[in-house]
Structure 1
């Protein structure tokens, strides 16, 4: 039987420096694409568009309806109080309208819960977008990356935050003196 001739393993020609550089760059690009795919998957865009955004829309619609309904009830009750006859039942009639106003003011609790859900949905969206923007080193139109844009937004928020919710109040005289 003839013996099979074994050939020596074929040795690849050594790579030149430009070839090594090109291979290294291609590996980096492949790693970047793989990382980008993971970050896109982490966005869970389908969940956002299927669940969170429609829920936020519905909750805000409900807030608008509840607020409008409560406002109408309060206005109608107050108007009815103004037209009550000044007779022996006046106090009982006024109390009845005041209780209607109190009941209408209960909308605040429900609207607060609904707005809380919307804020939570927006926070999830913001976190996912910030993570993605950081992962792809995205820059906004001003050339800021995600971290720089967040710092700038926080600084603006601290300056332009409107009336203070809690804390020391500034009197109107002090404000007038400031602009005088």
Structure 2
């Protein structure tokens, strides 16, 4: 009596056209996956957007710290004013409110630092992923992205500039001269 294993075809010896068909299907899937990953514009994110986010968030931290220091220095200067009837009590009350309000900088600084670290890790992982799948950057062919960049360039929609990129007052005066 023949066993049931003897009646089933040996899967190691499938027909060559079935194997080739499966390999073509896998290759098509991989090609499609690469196209989709390229459409995500991961290289653009790693090269342009994520570093910009780092810079912008870092600028926020610097600006809020600078503003906080300015407020605190002004408050300290108010405390050193000469005494007058009732003046000092009113000033001290408002200065204490200013000091309490300045605590926001520490909290926002901590939160922004967490975001910067998360973006750094995301950037590293994204770069590793892009390298692993050899994704192409579709930035140069994406019409929506090209239109966005052209509009931003034409309308100078760059937002506030980093301190080192800010034109000097002399540069601005020369522009209007």
What TM-score results when the alignment is normalised by the length of structure 2? Answer: 0.46
Structure 1-normalised TM-score?
A: 0.45
Structure possessing the higher radius of gyration over alpha carbons? 1
Higher relative CO (CA 8 A, sep ≥ 6), structure 1 or 2?
2
